[in-house]
Amino acid sequence: MKASVTPEYRERMLEIFKNRSWLDQNVDSIKSQYKGSWIVITSERVVASGAPTGGDAVAAAGSDFDPETSLVFLVPGDISQPF
């Protein structure tokens, strides 16, 4: 069998890319609001936040958390640039 990816899995990945890209573009404003907290991003928006664990943010998101495509992320205080 030729190796491939199923359309469903690919769609899921593309949705994850969208959420991550949205985070990348908005990280500075997100940082100013949520620094030190965990956030849940679903469909390119922050749907919940929580602390001290990612599980707290997931619980706060309730049904807005999609286990396949949501992004659960600890908002950093500092973003380094090695070069």
Partner 1 sequence: MGFPFISLRDWIDHLGSQGLLAENDQRMRLRNDISALSKQIADKGGPAVLHTDVEGHPGWRLLHDSLTDKHKQAIALGIDDKSFVREFAHKLAQGPGMPPVVVDKAPCQEEIFTGDAIDLTMLPLPMTTEFENPPYITSGIQLEKDPASPWVNMAIRRMHLKSPNSFCGLYSPLTHGGIIYKRYMEQGKEMPASVVIGVDPVYFMLSQLPAGPGESEASYWSTITGEPLQVVKCLTNDLYVPAHAEIVIEGKIDLTTRVFEGPFSEFPGYFSGCYRLPLFRATAVTMRTDPIYYYLYQGREPGEGHQISRSMREATTFSVVQKAVPELADVAVLSSGSFTTAMAIRKGSNRPGLVRHLAEVAKGHHLGRLIKNLFVCEDDLDIHNSTEIMWALSSRFQGERDILLINDQPGCYLDPSAPSLGRGQSTKTACYIFDCTEALPPYDEPYTRGTAIPKMTPAAKAAYDRILS
> What are the DSSP calls for 2-60, one per residue?
-----HHHHHHHHHHHHHHHHHHHHHHHHHHHHTTSEEEEETTEEEEEESSSHHHHHHH
> From the list 2, 29, 32, 63, which residue makes contact with partner 1 (rule: CB under 8 A)?
2
32 makes contact with partner 1 (CB under 8 A): no
Task: Give CA–CA dist 15/47, Å, rounded.
Answer: 16
* Residues in region 38-77 near partner 1 by CB under 8 A: 54, 70-74, 76
Please, what is the minimum distance in Å from the beta carbon of residue 36 to partner 1?
13
Please, what is the minimum distance in Å from the beta carbon of residue 2 to partner 1?
5
Please identify, using beta-carbon distances, which residue of 63 and 83 lies nearer to partner 1. 83
Binding footprint of partner 1 on the chain (CB under 8 A): 1-6, 8-10, 12-14, 16-17, 19-21, 23-24, 27, 54, 70-74, 76, 78-83
